[in-house]
A and B are shown apart, each in its own frame.
Chain A
Amino acid sequence: MPATTLAQKIIGRAAGRSAPSAPSAVAGPVVTPGEVVTARVDLAMIHDSGGPRRVEPILRELGVGLWDRDRVVLISDHFVPGDTEEGAGILALTRAWAAENGVAFHDGEGICHVVLPERGHLAPGMFVVGGDSHSPTGGAFGAYMFGIGATEMAGVLATGEIWLRVPGTILIEWQGRLGPGLMAKDMMLALCGRLGMDGGQYQAVEYTGPAIAALTMQERMTLSNMAAELGAQVGLIAPDRVTAAYIEAAGGQPGAWQGLVTDPGAALAAHHRFDASSLAPQVAAPHSPANAGPACEAGAAVDVAYIGACTGAKYADLAAAAGILQGRRPAPGITLLVAPASRRDQDRAAREGIMGVFEAAGARILPNACGICAGYGADRLEAGITCISSTARNFKGRMGDPSAQVWLGSPLTVAASAVAGRITDPREMMGAA
């Protein structure tokens, strides 16, 4: 069997190429980068913004229903809590559609990319599409998951199929180990700075190396999530025991994951090597994640510190930020906002005293939803505000007024910056700098 990449293995299986009856010499998923194949979709995830309100008119035009309601998961997050008239209307439509179509529906339970694996919907080797640009998050579980627009999603919901061009693999290898004060977010901002927002070339990025293996599942999700900012189609991480343990705890079935790796000697589109041990906390200046540089050199004064989004408000992110905020308060005049990425993560954080730390620090706790990251609700950044944010994107005007200045950093950096009132290397508050 030829040496193949993880991406080739999953796509090959989904495209029906891994003929089990073929002689062993040619058995295995032989799809070649550049080739266009049609693949069967194992699962389709949609949310309130790009989901029912956009796909239902197309399904109606086609005159068909869902190809398999058991393979569709709907999650409300972009317009939760429905604090605008438009948002309330969209949520009502979403709920009615869910009831009518009988799909799995997680309503107001958190952000789709976090809720999907948390409820055991993902497993290694699955071929999954999501109606959202951060769908690569699922790659952390060894699933080939990518984002598509509403028209294509309607096609998937009607047929269970989608075409794709088999990507090459860009292997991003992280040697060493993250030091104290460093998080997966710092790795991603560094990568955005080094490779640029089109460095991923719509290929399959795969993260590998000892620094990746040492990360928790939620930290790995941050890496896969921001494969979107690299312009990759997916951000894969080969499954291991950490993956399997997470899925089992979530009530899912990890299945046979052991062979799901990129074989040594498989042809790669590129192979980048980085050292996690020498990385310093990173921030990205307005208005692009690619404007990355060391946090200690930024120095900008901030008005708002935002711990939110699928990228930066999971349990692991909340726990990290609370470590800084324990016994500290934001500098005078600084607004600290915390929007835990899921209700489950918030409940766990509450049990462990983490939410108590935020409350003691005077933080405003926002709903388990996209919130200011999507900028669709009543809470938005006002004109002239400078914000340090644990989210993935700082495009002009995304989180509010176009004059707002958004810096990106890890949850640790956001917490430390809130305390100092200016962008700060969190190691200054950890006795490690």
Chain B
Amino acid sequence: MGRIFRLGDDIDTDQLAPGRYMRGGIAALAAHCLETVRPDFARIVQPGDILVAGRNFGMGSSREQAAEALRYLGLAGVVALSFAGIFYRNAINLGLPVLTASDVAAVEDGAAATLDPVAGALRLAGGAAIVLDPLPENLRAIIDAGGLVPFLKARFASAATP
């Protein structure tokens, strides 16, 4: 079980990976992840926690560190009404589950839940479940492998041993 962090619309890459901390490596950067919207976020977030946001999550620059910071903090994934295109690409390729839902109004901040990217469900502790759009097969394979590079590694390794 993870904890839900509820966020609004238009969470941008500068909120996820603030430009002024970009030179310090991913650990230093992740310590400032989302601090402008949730000052305590990086301190209290636990592996398995889940972000639930509104529209256009990850808008802004093409920096991969925005998705990398969330991976580093151990987030189980992000559920949003929609994602910005380049962030979505980066998240998938770094192995961070990103799933869209048509309605997240019922999801409350601080609730306990588990994310099931395969079944396409966000299961809340009380028994209710939010239906998520299932990830297409080709993207699920990348997520399951832990990102594009591990995915390709496995693919070439199995090609080498027939």
**Which residues of A does B touch, CB under 8 Å?**
35-38, 58, 61-64, 133, 147-149, 151-152, 154-155, 158-159, 163, 165, 167, 198, 201-203, 233
Chain B proximity of A349: nearest CB distance (Å): 33
Contacts of A133 in B (CB 8 A): 62
**Contacting pair B138 A163 (CB below 8 A):** yes
**Contacting pair B90 A149 (CB below 8 A):** yes
**Contacting pair B149 A152 (CB below 8 A):** no
Interface residue B57 (Cβ < 8 Å from any Cβ of A): no
A158 and B148 alpha carbons, distance in the complex (Å)? 12
**Contacting pair B139 A36 (CB below 8 A):** yes
Contacts of B59 in A (CB 8 A): 198
**Contacting pair A201 B152 (CB below 8 A):** no
Contact pick for B156, options A37, A63, A203, CB 8 Å: A63
Minimum CB distance partner of A152 in chain B: B93
- Provide a sorted-by-A list of 17 A–B residue pairs whose CB atoms are within 8 angstroms: A37-B138, A63-B156, A64-B156, A148-B89, A149-B62, A152-B148, A154-B149, A158-B152, A158-B156, A159-B155, A163-B92, A163-B138, A165-B88, A198-B84, A202-B84, A202-B85, A233-B85
Interface residue B37 (Cβ < 8 Å from any Cβ of A): no
Contacts of B136 in A (CB 8 A): 35-36
Query: Do most interface residues of chain B lie in helix, strand or loop, or is the interface mixed?
Result: helix
Minimum CB distance partner of A159 in chain B: B152
**Contacting pair A152 B89 (CB below 8 A):** yes
Q: Determine which residue in B59, B62, B85, B156 has the highest number of CB atoms from chain A within 10 A of its CB, and name it.
A: B85
Chain A proximity of B85: nearest CB distance (Å): 2
Contacts of B38 in A (CB 8 A): none
Interface residue B153 (Cβ < 8 Å from any Cβ of A): yes
Interface residue B35 (Cβ < 8 Å from any Cβ of A): no
Minimum CB distance partner of A147 in chain B: B62
A398 and B160 alpha carbons, distance in the complex (Å)? 45
**Contacting pair B152 A155 (CB below 8 A):** yes
Chain A proximity of B102: nearest CB distance (Å): 13
A225 and B31 alpha carbons, distance in the complex (Å)? 36
Interface residues of B toward A: which range?
20 to 34
Chain A proximity of B109: nearest CB distance (Å): 26
Contact pick for A201, options B85, B139, B160, CB 8 Å: B85
Interface residue B27 (Cβ < 8 Å from any Cβ of A): no
**Contacting pair B149 A165 (CB below 8 A):** no
The A-contacting residues of B in range 131-162, CB under 8 angstroms, are 136, 138-139, 142, 148-149, 152-153, 155-156, 160
**Contacting pair A61 B90 (CB below 8 A):** no
**Contacting pair A62 B152 (CB below 8 A):** yes
Chain B proximity of A232: nearest CB distance (Å): 9
**Contacting pair B138 A155 (CB below 8 A):** no
Interface residue B64 (Cβ < 8 Å from any Cβ of A): yes
Q: Determine which residue in B64, B86, B92, B139 has the highest number of CB atoms from chain A within 10 A of its CB, and name it.
A: B86
Chain A proximity of B160: nearest CB distance (Å): 8
A26 and B39 alpha carbons, distance in the complex (Å)? 54
**Contacting pair B139 A163 (CB below 8 A):** yes
A149-B64 CB under 8 A given contacts A38-B138, A165-B88, A202-B84 = yes
The A-contacting residues of B in range 62-94, CB under 8 angstroms, are 62, 64, 84-86, 88-90, 92-93
A84 and B142 alpha carbons, distance in the complex (Å)? 39
**Contacting pair A151 B148 (CB below 8 A):** yes
Chain A proximity of B141: nearest CB distance (Å): 10
A198 and B62 alpha carbons, distance in the complex (Å)? 12
A26 and B77 alpha carbons, distance in the complex (Å)? 38
Chain A proximity of B29: nearest CB distance (Å): 17
Contacts of A165 in B (CB 8 A): 85, 88
**Contacting pair A62 B149 (CB below 8 A):** yes
**Contacting pair B62 A61 (CB below 8 A):** no
A271 and B134 alpha carbons, distance in the complex (Å)? 30
**Contacting pair A61 B84 (CB below 8 A):** no
10 pairs of A and B residues whose beta carbons are closest in the complex:
A202-B85, A36-B136, A38-B138, A155-B148, A62-B152, A64-B156, A163-B138, A62-B156, A62-B153, A155-B152
Contacts of B62 in A (CB 8 A): 133, 147, 149
**Contacting pair B153 A61 (CB below 8 A):** yes
20 further A-B contacts with Cβ under 8 Å, apart from A147-B62, A151-B93, A155-B148, are A35-B136, A36-B136, A61-B149, A62-B149, A62-B153, A64-B156, A148-B89, A149-B62, A151-B148, A152-B89, A158-B156, A163-B139, A163-B142, A198-B56, A198-B59, A198-B60, A201-B85, A202-B85, A202-B86, A233-B85
Chain B proximity of A141: nearest CB distance (Å): 22
Contacts of B156 in A (CB 8 A): 62-64, 158
Contacts of A38 in B (CB 8 A): 138
